[in-house]
Chains A and B, each alone.
Chain A
Amino acid sequence: SAVISQKPSRDICQRGTSLTIQCQVDSQVTMMFWYRQQPGQSLTLIATANQGSEATYESGFVIDKFPISRPNLTFSTLTVSNMSPEDSSIYLCSVWGGRSSYEQYFGPGTRLTVT
């Protein structure tokens, strides 16, 4: 299994500002996933980030609002841009478990509050 760290663990931001969340994996992985989870809700996939290509965004999520970088096989960032209170949520990154394994391993999450 992969060990994943995320920074920051939590933040309180003002509306209109942007926050960049970092995700670091202890092994090289092709695909990284960014999720949003609102309190008491299920996980919603924002985008899939493959190293060396543009991220693939899910319906309802756009690159201008959630730009993603994937500079190498162990690191990715998600930026939440021009934040509003509706962006208050937990943001999680995850990776597949192994070469042919489709279980996902998650970082500890970033708890974002927008005031």
Chain B
Amino acid sequence: GQQVMQIPQYQHVQEGEDFTTYCNSSTTLSNIQWYKQRPGGHPVFLIQLVKSGEVKKQKRLTFQFGEAKKNSSLHITATQTTDVGTYFCAVLGSAGNNRKLIWGLGTSLAVNP
């Protein structure tokens, strides 16, 4: 079945440093989504990318979809302690009556103040 690989699994940074997580697929993706899950919380939708080469920004977060639509990245500039959590990418599975999301394993971000 379709899979999406996410790296790194963990990242520990000092506050103010940048952070990037990557998602890769062996197949072309129709879209990719990013979610954030705070410790003890539930996943919260951040953004969806659908176009080749698309770049979207949300304040200090920059999301990118690769030209071949097989990879994506989430970059956080100047991390803050509020960025702590696990970041998941998710891709839409095969078309049909029961579409579902295929989830990456997540990147857990810890930020030292």
Contacts and interface: CB of A to CB of B under 8 A. Distances in A.
Interface of A: 1, 31, 33, 40-43, 45, 48, 50, 56, 92, 97, 102-109
Which residue among B43, B92, B99 has the maximum number of chain A CB atoms within 10 Å of its CB?
Answer: B43
Interface residues of B, number: 21
A20 B106 CA distance: 28
Q: Which of B41, B92, B103 has the most C-beta atoms of chain A within 10 angstroms of its own C-beta?
A: B103
Nearest to A102: B92
A104 B88 CA distance: 12
Nearest to B44: A106
B43 A43 contact: yes
B38 to A, nearest CB: 12
Contacts of A103: 33, 45, 48
Report which residue of B31, B45, B99 has the largest number of chain A beta carbons within 10 angstroms of its beta carbon: B45
Given A56-B98, A102-B92, A109 B108 contact: no
